[in-house]
């Protein structure tokens, strides 16, 4: 079950996320992508240059898109920052997946891990807001 959830986690394209969140219309995205093709700028830069989104909105969406499991664990208060550091250190030595180590050590349950991985998946694809 964990493997299937992990396989689903992938980055969505920035433009798709902005449209899903209602920060940009499809037409605005098309205009920005068209302009991007004729420049060496990233989509976010084009959107900022044209005042289609704010710097704060762009930063928030990029932060959500790149949310790591460890950050979610701390954010949801499943682990303390100190516990996370300890498990990450162990992960570096054992080369196991973070979630597997946490479940193996009885720090979180399998159900909690599944919930967090699902939240991570949806958030990375622009369907979940950071609380």
Coil/strand/helix, residue 62: helix
Domain ranges of the chain: 2-8+68-124, 14-65
- 106-109, long-range: CB within 8 Å, 24+ apart, which pairs? 107/78, 107/79, 107/83, 108/73, 108/78, 108/79
Helix (H) or strand (E) holding 49: helix 43-49
69-83: per-residue pLDDT in tens? 898 899 889 999 999
pTM of the model: 0.60
32-59: per-residue pLDDT in tens? 989 988 888 889 999 999 999 999 999 8
- The DSSP secondary structure of 105-117, one letter per residue, reads TTSS-HHHHHHHH
Two structure tokens written together for 56:
């704060």
Cβ atoms of 23 and 57 closer than 8 Å: yes
């Amino acid at each position: 079950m964990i493997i299937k959830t992990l396989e689903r986690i992938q980055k969505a394209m920035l433009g798709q996320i902005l449209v899903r969140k209602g920060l940009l219309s499809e037409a605005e995205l098309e205009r920005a992508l068209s302009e991007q093709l004729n420049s060496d700028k990233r989509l976010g830069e084009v959107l900022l240059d044209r005042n289609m989104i704010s710097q704060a909105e762009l930063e928030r969406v990029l932060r959500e898109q790149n949310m790591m499991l460890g950050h979610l664990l701390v954010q949801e208060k499943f682990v303390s920052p100190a516990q996370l550091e300890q498990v990450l250190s162990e992960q570096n030595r054992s080369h196991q997946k973070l979630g597997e180590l946490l479940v193996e050590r009885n720090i979180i349950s399998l159900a909690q891990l599944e919930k967090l991985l699902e939240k991570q998946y949806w958030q990375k694809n622009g369907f979940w807001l950071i609380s």
